[in-house]
């Protein structure tokens, strides 16, 4: 027989899982969006990746095609995980927020569940695309790739936590839209998603400095390390960076969501 | 004629409702130029370097053309939304001919594209130098024709799709195919060499060659990048044909499809 405290804990976990499940289900309503992203992904590989690989000096990046495909997987995961912020505005516009607030779940369960749900659905969506990448890239070090997958999970949860944090903090869909556009432009381009860190640093030391601490850089490098495209002196350092990113945005997300979720003011 | 002016005013007012979205789009375009192109500058192969000299200078005209494409395409999204929300009944009730309405929509899409693209073109001139007056006139004419053709293409897609999702999917397919199978990001010779080696399907190589985005980008480069390529009248003809076809098809499709119950 279960002890009352254990039963209570299980009940609370179930509530969290319900929030996660709802967000995962919600994502698959956007089937055309999913298809469009898949088209984008495949055309990036088959057209841009293939042609750009002829553009790049092989002394700088020996196999730019594989290098780019790995970076593309991380870029796609980032944009899929970011999408949860747009859901919050949809919910606010249609009055679903009030319904969510009336549910018998705590605010913390709600934000943690949404953060996990946002990351999980991004991962479910990107999973087949990562499988395509692995097929294209070929060789994988199983042990290293297991660590890479773990870091991708944390990264996806961190990004969806960041998206929720920003959406709830600014409460304006116009501002959110532009901020996401600018963030996407800067975070992805000022990272090693498309080029090696040494080249970014030689192009502009400021860009290199930002790219060195960018979570997209950490995950892109780990992905390439897991697929034997590059070697890393110490893979635990980028992993630590991803863990800090995940921890920060999950914690900040919970605190800000808790403080800002009530009182309306959504535009 | 007066009807066309009203439609232009209506569509320009709508365009400025998306000012935040436009600021975001321009930031992304500039990030492409000032971050991605600057870094790629240090990575390109010696062969390509000899051909284009600097990736930054090569990409700047391509960026103006991509900006033009994205903004001229916005009219399609609005028309698709009007159709779904049945605002087109109101548009049809306006005291103007169907032809005025259709031409007004195509023209406004093109002019909005020109307006959005202008800061990107000015940035391009700032780094690559100014063209002669005659070249400037030709650049603006070709870009306007291109913008009108793109606006027409987006209207054709918008009135042929019944939901936003279908419109977005079709738009994505057109966007990526036309962007990546063009000389916006890389010289056409790279695509042609991939075609010759059998790594790229011949129909995609042909598409890249006749793509109006290739023609417009290469025309600007032929004026602003010395020694890159010589201006050819085919560049203008390609864009003119594209514009004529899609303006006519869009005007016809717009009137025919939105009148259906």
Residue A182 in any domain: the answer is: yes
How many domains is chain A partitioned into structurally? 1
Asked if residue A191 belongs to a domain, the reply is: yes
State yes or no: pLDDT of A49 exceeds 60.
yes
- Residue ranges making up the domain that contains A33: 4-261
Highest mean pLDDT among A63-72, A123-132, A252-261, B24-33: A63-72
Of A33, A39, A207, the CB nearest to B165: A33
- Band (A265; pLDDT cuts 50, 70, 90): low
* Residue A143 within a domain: yes
Q: How far is A207 from chain B (nearest CA, A)?
A: 8
Summarize pLDDT for A159-179 with one digit per residue, the tens: 888 888 888 887 777 677 778
Average pLDDT value for chain A: 83
pLDDT-derived band at B261 (thresholds 50, 70, 90) equals low
Residue B238 has pLDDT above 80, yes or no: yes
Q: B210 vs A124, which has greater pLDDT?
A: B210
| Chain A neighbors of B67, CB-CB under 8 A | none
Report if residue A57 sits inside a domain. yes
- Residue A252 included in any domain: yes
Q: With 60 as the cut, is the pLDDT of residue A1 above it?
A: no
Contacts of B191 in chain A (CB under 8 A): 51
Tell me what pLDDT residue B75 has: 84
Residues of chain A with Cβ-Cβ distance to B196 below 8 Å are none
Choice among A27-31, A34-38, A263-267 with the minimum mean pLDDT = A263-267
For residue A217, the distance in angstroms to the closest alpha carbon of chain B comes to 15
Cα separations in angstroms, B232 against A123, B221, B223: 49, 12, 11
d(CA B227, CA B223): 10
Residue A212's pLDDT band (boundaries 50, 70, 90)? very high
Confidence of residue A264 (pLDDT cuts 50, 70, 90): low
Chains A–B, number of C-beta pairs less than 8 Å apart: 123
**Residue A84 counted as domain residue:** yes
% of chain A at pLDDT higher than 90: 20
Tell whether A153 is covered by a domain.
Answer: yes
Instruction: Give B-chain residues touching A136 at CB under 8 angstroms.
Output: none
Q: Does B21 touch chain A (CB under 8 A)?
A: yes
Tens-place pLDDT, residues B60-81: 999 999 999 988 888 888 888 7
Percentage of residues in chain B having pLDDT higher than 90: 39
Interface test with B, best of A86, A189, A214, A217 (most B CBs within 10 A): A189
pLDDT at B85: 77
Mean pLDDT of chain B: 87
pLDDT tens across B16-32, in order? 777 777 777 788 888 88
CB contact under 8 A, B28 and A185: yes
A267 pLDDT tier (thresholds 50, 70, 90): low
- B158-212 pLDDT per residue, tens: 888 877 767 777 887 888 889 889 999 999 999 999 889 888 889 999 999 999 9
Which residues of B fall within a CB distance of 8 Å from A50? 194, 199-200
- Answer yes or no: do A181 and B172 touch at CB < 8 A: no
Predicted complex ipTM: 0.80
Q: Is A267 inside any structural domain?
A: no
């Amino acid at each position: 027989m279960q002890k009352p405290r254990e039963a209570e804990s299980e009940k609370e976990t179930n509530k969290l899982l319900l929030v996660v499940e709802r967000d995962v289900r919600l994502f698959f309503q956007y089937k055309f969006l999913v298809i469009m992203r898949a088209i984008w992904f495949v055309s990036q590989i088959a057209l841009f990746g293939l042609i750009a690989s002829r553009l790049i000096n092989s002394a700088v990046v020996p196999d730019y095609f594989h290098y780019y495909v790995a970076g593309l997987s991380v870029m796609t995961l980032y944009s899929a995980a970011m999408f949860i912020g747009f859901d919050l505005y949809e919910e606010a516009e249609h009055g679903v927020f009030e319904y969510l607030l009336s549910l018998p779940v705590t605010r913390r369960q709600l934000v943690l569940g949404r953060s996990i749900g946002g990351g999980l659905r991004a991962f479910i969506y990107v999973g087949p695309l990562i499988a395509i990448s692995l097929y294209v890239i070929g060789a994988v070090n199983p042990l290293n790739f297991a660590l890479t997958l773990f870091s991708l999970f944390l990264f996806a949860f961190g990004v969806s936590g960041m998206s929720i944090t920003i959406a709830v903090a600014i409460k304006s869909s116009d501002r959110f839209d532009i901020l996401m556009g600018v963030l996407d432009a800067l975070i992805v381009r000022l990272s090693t998603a498309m080029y090696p860190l040494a080249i970014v640093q030689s192009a502009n030391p400021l860009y290199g400095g930002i790219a060195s601490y960018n979570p997209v850089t950490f995950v892109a490098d780990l992905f390439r390390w897991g697929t034997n495209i590059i070697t890393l002196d110490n893979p635990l350092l980028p992993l630590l960076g991803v863990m800090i990113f995940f921890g920060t945005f999950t914690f900040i997300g919970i605190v800000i969501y808790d403080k800002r979720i009530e009182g309306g003011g959504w535009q | 004629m007066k009807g066309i002016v009203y439609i232009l005013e209506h569509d320009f007012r709508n365009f400025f409702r998306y000012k935040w979205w436009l600021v975001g789009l321009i930031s992304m375009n500039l990030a492409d130029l000032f971050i991605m192109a600057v870094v790629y500058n240090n990575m390109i192969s010696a062969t390509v370097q000899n051909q284009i000299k600097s990736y930054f200078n090569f990409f700047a005209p391509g960026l103006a053309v991509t900006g033009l494409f994205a903004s001229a395409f916005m009219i399609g999204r609005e028309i698709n939304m009007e159709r779904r929300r049945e605002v087109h009944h109101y548009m049809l009730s306006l005291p103007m001919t169907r032809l005025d309405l259709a031409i007004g929509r195509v023209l406004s899409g093109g002019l909005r594209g020109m307006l959005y693209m202008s800061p990107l073109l000015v940035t391009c001139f700032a780094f690559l130098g100014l063209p002669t007056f005659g070249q400037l006139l030709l650049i603006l004419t070709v870009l306007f024709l291109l913008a009108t053709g793109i606006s027409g293409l987006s209207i054709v897609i918008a009135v042929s799709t019944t939901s936003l999702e279908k419109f977005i999917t079709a738009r994505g397919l057109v966007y990526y195919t036309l962007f990546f199978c063009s000389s916006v990001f890389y010289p056409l010779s790279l695509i042609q060499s991939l075609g010759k080696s059998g790594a790229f399907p011949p129909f995609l190589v042909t598409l890249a060659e006749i793509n109006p985005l290739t023609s417009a980008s290469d025309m600007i480069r032929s004026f602003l990048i010395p020694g890159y390529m010589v201006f050819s009248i085919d560049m203008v003809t390609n864009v003119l044909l594209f514009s004529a076809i899609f303006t006519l098809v869009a005007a016809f499709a717009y009137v025919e499809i939105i009148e259906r119950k």
